[in-house]
């Protein structure tokens, strides 16, 4: 019953069209009317949150919630209802029941998250989105280099967009006195696809692990069964992202990559120096190729885009010098921040100096106003 609204709203048309397409190839006429309904905002997120609660109650990890008001607030907690993070009942419900008073330190921390989230969304993601959208709409007209650049930009765009939203949600919740799970941990520094899923959309990875992968047997079974479990988990991940074959292929690319890594023993292998760099680059390339399937409207377009990118080599086109200056600035700021946090977390302490911190806040705030794409653009994950 919990997943019925999700199935009807999100997948009815997809299943209907897929069956119609299959039968029409066999010469059979079958057609049901499609639904032209508005899909409730964040349906995938709050459905997963509700399903997680049911599992936890069923397996007696938590007690059933008696207050309908608290339960409703848990499922519909407004900072996260649009695009997560997907919280577990044992994390959020106790916080809902607590009395909250304003905490200055938590408020400041929340506003910092909010500011950085807005920078990622408005300056990085939405600006890069202008280039990506233009190239993706008519990729045949651009050189292969331009397509490759737009694919790389999309990897950064979706990170800025989704991590930006998550940080804003976490920040808003923090100012209200609630702590939500951190959803991203510098995912493009991953050394393998397995590592990528420990750093990207952490709340979804955790949900899939707890409610799909482990109930199927996880890794405490035969190798083949374990590979099957990984395959099914990422198939579910792909289907969850959207009712389109492109998302299913995207999920399967990640699933197969993890199976290969596991078979070769690369999933937990530590590496340093050049080897680590090479692994980071290889992982980024695989993730970027998979994002092409995620971005393009159909499988055919994704395959054509990739073949065009590698066959029609040419210089990447700079569509607007002003935009490229902003891309460069935004990417440089994000890379410097993330490199510092990933590689030198306890060094460069002067950056934590009070005055330096305030300079950073003012600069980021001004950059949002001066360079952010301040239109009424939406969030990529808002459509899931």
Partner 1 sequence: MGSSRAAHHYVPELITEKLGMSCFNAGQDGNGIILQYGRWKMISERYYPKLIIYDLTFGYDIAQNDNMTYLDRLKPFSYDKTIRAYITGLFPVENLKLFSKMYCFNYKFLEILSDLMREEVTDGYLPITSKMKLDREYKSFPFDGNKVDDIKLNNVEKLVEECNENGVKLVFVVSPSYLGGDYDVEAFEPIRKISVNHNIPFYYYCDSEISNDANLFSDPSHLNDEGARTFTCIIAEAIKKL
Q: Could you list the residues that contact partner 1 (CB under 8 A)?
A: 138, 140-141, 321-322, 325-326, 366, 369-377
Query: Alpha-carbon distance 200 to 185, whole Å?
Result: 7
Q: Is 312 helix (H, G, I), strand (E, B) or coil?
A: coil
Query: Alpha-carbon distance 157 to 179, whole Å?
Result: 26
- How far from 3 is each of 8, 59, 181, 363, CA to CA, in Å? 9, 18, 23, 45
Query: Alpha-carbon distance 75 to 84, whole Å?
Result: 11
Residue 278 Cβ vs partner 1, minimum distance, rounded to whole Å = 36
Q: For partner 1, which is the closer residue by CB, 121 or 254?
A: 121
Residue 165 Cβ vs partner 1, minimum distance, rounded to whole Å = 19
Enter the tokens of residue 235.
């198939």
H or E stretch including 135? helix 126-137
Q: For partner 1, which is the closer residue by CB, 41 or 369?
A: 369
Q: Answer positive or negative: Cα dihedral of 219, 225, 231, 232.
A: negative
Q: For partner 1, which is the closer residue by CB, 84 or 372?
A: 372
Q: For partner 1, which is the closer residue by CB, 127 or 262?
A: 127
Q: For partner 1, which is the closer residue by CB, 87 or 146?
A: 146
Residue 351 Cβ vs partner 1, minimum distance, rounded to whole Å = 25
Q: Is 122 helix (H, G, I), strand (E, B) or coil?
A: helix
SS3 content of the chain, % helix, strand, coil (to 5): 70, 0, 30
H or E stretch including 314? none
Residue 322 Cβ vs partner 1, minimum distance, rounded to whole Å = 4
Residue 328 Cβ vs partner 1, minimum distance, rounded to whole Å = 11
DSSP 285-306: HHHHHHHHHHHSSSHHHHHHHH
Q: For partner 1, which is the closer residue by CB, 256 or 324?
A: 324
Q: For partner 1, which is the closer residue by CB, 223 or 315?
A: 315
Query: Alpha-carbon distance 119 to 331, whole Å?
Result: 11
DSSP 295-355: HSSSHHHHHHHHHHHHHS--PPP-S-HHHHHHHHHHHHHHHHHHHHHHH-TTS-GGGGSHH
Please tell me which residue in 201, 241, 254, 308 is annotated as part of the active site.
241
C-beta of residue 147 within 8 angstroms of C-beta of residue 135:
yes
Tell me which DSSP letter residue 140 carries: G
Give the torsion through C-alpha atoms of 224, 229, 234, 239, to 10 deg. 120
Residue 4 Cβ vs partner 1, minimum distance, rounded to whole Å = 30
Residue 312 Cβ vs partner 1, minimum distance, rounded to whole Å = 9
Catalytic residue check, 241: yes
* Other CB atoms within 10 Å distance of the CB of residue 306: 19
Residues designated catalytic: 241
């Amino acid at each position: 019953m919990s997943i019925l609204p999700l199935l009807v709203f999100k997948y009815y048309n997809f299943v209907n069209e897929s069956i119609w397409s299959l039968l029409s190839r066999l010469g059979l006429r079958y057609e049901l009317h499609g639904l032209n309904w508005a899909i409730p905002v964040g349906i995938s997120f709050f459905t997963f949150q509700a399903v997680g609660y049911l599992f936890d109650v069923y397996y007696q990890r938590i007690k059933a919630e008696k207050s309908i008001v608290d339960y409703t607030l848990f499922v519909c907690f407004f900072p996260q209802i649009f695009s997560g993070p997907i919280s577990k009942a044992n994390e959020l419900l106790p916080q809902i029941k607590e009395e909250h008073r304003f905490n200055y330190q938590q408020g400041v921390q929340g506003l910092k998250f909010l500011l950085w989230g807005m920078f990622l969304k408005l300056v990085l993601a939405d600006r890069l989105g202008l280039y990506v959208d233009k190239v993706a709409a008519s990729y045949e007209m651009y050189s292969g280099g331009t397509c490759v650049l737009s694919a790389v930009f999309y990897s950064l765009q979706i990170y800025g967009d989704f991590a930006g939203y998550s940080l804003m949600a976490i920040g808003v919740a923090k100012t209200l006195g609630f702590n939500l799970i951190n959803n991203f941990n510098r995912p493009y520094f991953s050394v393998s696809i397995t590592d990528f899923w420990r750093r990207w959309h952490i709340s979804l990875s955790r949900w899939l692990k707890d409610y799909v992968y482990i109930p199927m047997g996880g890794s405490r079974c035969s190798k083949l069964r374990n590979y099957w479990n990984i395959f099914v988990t990422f198939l579910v991940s792909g289907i969850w992202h959207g009712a389109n074959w492109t998302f299913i292929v995207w999920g399967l690319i990640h699933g197969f990559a993890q199976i290969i890594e596991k078979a070769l023993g690369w999933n937990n292998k530590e590496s340093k120096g050049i080897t680590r760099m090479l692994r980071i680059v290889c992982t980024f390339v695989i993730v970027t190729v998979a994002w092409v399937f995620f971005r393009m409207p159909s499988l055919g377009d994704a395959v054509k885009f990739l073949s065009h990118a590698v066959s029609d080599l040419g210089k990447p086109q700079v569509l607007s010098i002003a935009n490229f200056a902003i891309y460069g600035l935004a990417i440089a700021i994000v890379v410097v921040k993330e490199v510092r946090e990933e590689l030198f977390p306890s060094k460069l302490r002067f950056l934590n100096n009070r005055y330096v911190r305030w300079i950073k806040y003012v600069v980021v705030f001004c950059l949002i106003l001066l360079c952010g794409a301040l239109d009424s653009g939406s969030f990529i994950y808002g459509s899931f």
